[in-house]
Structure 1
Amino acid sequence: RTIQTLEDMLRACAINFGKGWVNHLPFVKFSYNNSYHATIKAAPFEALYGRKCRSPVCWTEVGEAQILDPKLIQETTEKIVQIKQRMQAARDRQKSYADLKRKPMEFQVGDKVMLKVSSWKGVVRFGKRGKLNPRYVGPFKVLERVGDVTYKLDLPEELSRVHNTFHVSNLKKCHADKPLAVPLDGLHVDDKLYFIEEPVEIVDREVKRLKQSRILLVKV
């Protein structure tokens, strides 16, 4: 959402200021760095330096800024206010898009849920490879709700090294009647739910010829 908000800000800047939009980029930066962010409960500038940034109205109070014309300060202040309004509109628009796609999900104590695993790093390995790798394991019983979007699960001994509290985005309700939907046999688990795909057999190979080099392609 941050990238989309910045894109909307720059787009609005180009529309409002035309060919001179590049000259207004410092104002965009100033507005963004001094706008309240709900995630950190402060503006980025305040979070970084521990104090609020001086607005253009205060620029005549310190150092060489005293030579600035009051009219220039007023124009700068108006532009920053305009950019902040555009930025807030962009944030509200991106939030509305995200809210449309976001599906609130809640579980009750005792529910059975599937746990999502990832393929980014190699600490959980399955016997199957490629597209046959399971994306969820379980089901596991919900023991407790921790906060608004976090749940504690009853994990088996095979997952004893994994922290048993998970965000709701990593869970999916299990509707299967059978006690075990995805077995844990053969899992090798570290403290994170990641797995890697390891080559088990070379089935084909090919040499790709370039102008000045060759590349060996191996299918496993």
Structure 2
Amino acid sequence: MAHIDYYFATLSPFTYLSGTRPQAIADKHGATITYKPLDIMALFARTGGTPPKDRHPNRQEYRLQELQRRSKLVGMPLNPKPAFWPTNGAPSAYAIISAQNAGGDVAALVKNFGAACWAEDRDISQDDVVRDCLEKAGFDPALADKDMMTSADTFAKNLEDAVSAGAFGAPFFITDTDQRFWGEDRIDDLDAYLAGKI
């Protein structure tokens, strides 16, 4: 059985635009998937990346165009300049880690956080938003406060795992055969790889 480590950031618009497709592809191929939310700014700092606000204007403008194109192509609404971005991604990441440990529809939860930030202008660092996203994905909202120390440790470990495994952005998919796929626009390539086409 194939396995996918899915490194992502709840603050990433490209994670949001991935939607539930990574899980659908894993299910299609009988693969398992581990959701590994991390601090994307720390990952950039460790692997030579630059936060969006510090990029050359040419890169910033291209990113905005790309976000608008990709949102249309995948049929998901997106505000390229959301009201609450950047914000603290840790609370949402901790909730995802707790939810994954509890079992349930983690893909829906990841999508909910992305939509809250990038389509609904909500602050995903706030407790009420975290609880609402959990509840809408079928989880107990109390998971927002469960095993916080364990979640914090896992969140930090996910960053170390990402650097060790060769990830440098989000979303980033790494198979158990060390095939790496970076970006929402490489999800189809992941699908083709798992199908044995590439």
Question: Relative contact order, CA 8 A, sep 6+: which one is greater?
Answer: 2
When you count strand as a share of all residues, which structure comes out higher?
1
- Which TM class, normalised by the smaller chain length? under 0.3
TM-score (norm 1): 0.20
